[in-house]
Amino acid sequence: MKFLDQVKIFIKAGDGGSGSPSFRREKFIEFGGPDGGDGGKGGSIIIVSERNLNTLIDFRYQQHFKAERGRDGSGKNKTGRGGEDLHLKVPVGTQVFEEDNKTLIFDFKKENEKFVAALGGKGGFGNTRFKSSTNRAPKKFTKGTVGEEFWIYLQLKTIADIGIIGLPNAGKSSILASLTSATPKIANYKFTTLNPNLGVAMYDDKEITLADIPGLIEGAHQGTGLGIKFLKHIERCKTLLHLIDISENDLINSYLQVRDEMGKYSSELLKKQEIIVFNKIDLIDENEIKEKIKEFEKIIKKSTFTTSTLDKKSVSDIKSTLLNYVS
């Protein structure tokens, strides 16, 4: 399925139905008086968050959404039927912005949250409403009000317990596939991942949601490479799993380059819990691994973990470690 994380859509709530100017006309009743009913309320546009969705692709080919108009009132004091509300389903993590794409209107953080994005118009009054002691046969009635309508932006920020970050080709997609049942595209070249991938890992009957964030390169905070478009997805993750290819010549530079880009985008990202994992330990010998880790921890002063997607035990150990970072 294609991933789409921003769309612009037009929403139009239903107009209210008009009131009726009807008069009672029955045999043997000479002066029946007014009996016009009220118009029905227009349907509203309601946005609902859905857990099973992870993309806004459904809005790619349809950008205009209109709720049903309220029915007009009629004689015998019959009120018009209200228009049906139109429900639009979006993934958890979707934000609703005004047309300027800057003013936040609503933020869906939980499943089954509802937000009335456009309110339906009110139904008009029938002439019965205007009957009085001085006006026994009013012809006055009112039309329904117009339903709200405007353009809005929907932006999706992936919500996951753990966000897997690192330079391109660090093995993020491979580790996601090993830890979960996700099937991301995997190949030995940079930028295999063009969109965030989500996966769910089960360990000791506990569920952990992981997101594989596309690789970050120098200048990402300014939009270079896949840049800002994907840095925003890290904001939602509770913890970051920083994956580093241990066969790289300069591990410290690899680590700091990603941290630098994150910090330039938002200093809040640097405050998140971080798990540093050296990947691809099957590519170099054990002594070299120990030397590299020793040098890294001496300068960075953070504990690290090692793994290889070819070693099921090390993958299982990483899974159990992640539980300590998920509440």
pLDDT value, residue 175:
85
Most confident region among 49-53, 89-93, 122-126, 254-258 by mean pLDDT: 122-126
Average pLDDT for residues 258-264, to the nearest whole number? 88
Place 232 in a pLDDT band, splitting at 50, 70 and 90.
confident
Q: Give the Cα separation of 286 and 277 in Å (integer).
A: 16
Domain spanning 1-156: CATH 2.70.210.12: yes
pLDDT value, residue 30:
67
Average pLDDT for residues 152-157, to the nearest whole number? 91
Between 221 and 74, the more confident residue is 74
pLDDT value, residue 178:
85
Residue at token pair 């429900």: 87
Average pLDDT for residues 154-159, to the nearest whole number? 82
Report the share of the chain in percent with pLDDT over 70: 88
Q: pLDDT by residue (tens digit) across 168-217?
A: 878 888 888 888 765 544 434 444 444 567 777 777 777 788 888 776 64
* Structure tokens, 198: 């989500």
Place 265 in a pLDDT band, splitting at 50, 70 and 90.
confident
From 177-181, 222-226, 262-266, the region with the lowest mean pLDDT: 222-226
Domain borders along the chain are 1-156, 162-323
* Structure tokens, 187: 């190949």
Residue at token pair 């969705």: 53
Place 242 in a pLDDT band, splitting at 50, 70 and 90.
very high
DSSP string, 110-175: STT-EEEEEPPPPPPPPGGGG--SS-SS-----PPPPPPEEEEEEEE----SEEEE-STTSSHHHH
The whole-chain average pLDDT of the chain stands at: 85
Contact 151, 9 (CB under 8 A): yes
Classified as helix, coil or strand, 300 is helix
Between 231 and 59, the more confident residue is 59
Handedness of CA 229, 233, 235, 239 (dihedral sign): negative
Name the DSSP class of 17: P
Q: Give the Cα separation of 286 and 112 in Å (integer).
A: 50
Contact 265, 220 (CB under 8 A): yes
Predicted TM-score (pTM) of the model is 0.70
CB count within 10 Å of CB 269 equals: 20
* Strand ranges of the sheet holding 239-245, from the earlier edge strand across to the other edge: 197-203, 206-212, 162-165, 239-245, 273-279, 304-306
Q: Give the Cα separation of 213 and 106 in Å (integer).
A: 24
Q: Is the pLDDT at 2 greater than 60, yes or no?
A: no
Q: Give the Cα separation of 225 and 82 in Å (integer).
A: 50
pLDDT value, residue 216:
61
Average pLDDT for residues 4-16, to the nearest whole number? 92
pLDDT value, residue 250:
92
Q: What CATH class does 162-323 carry?
A: alpha beta
pLDDT value, residue 187:
39
pLDDT value, residue 33:
87
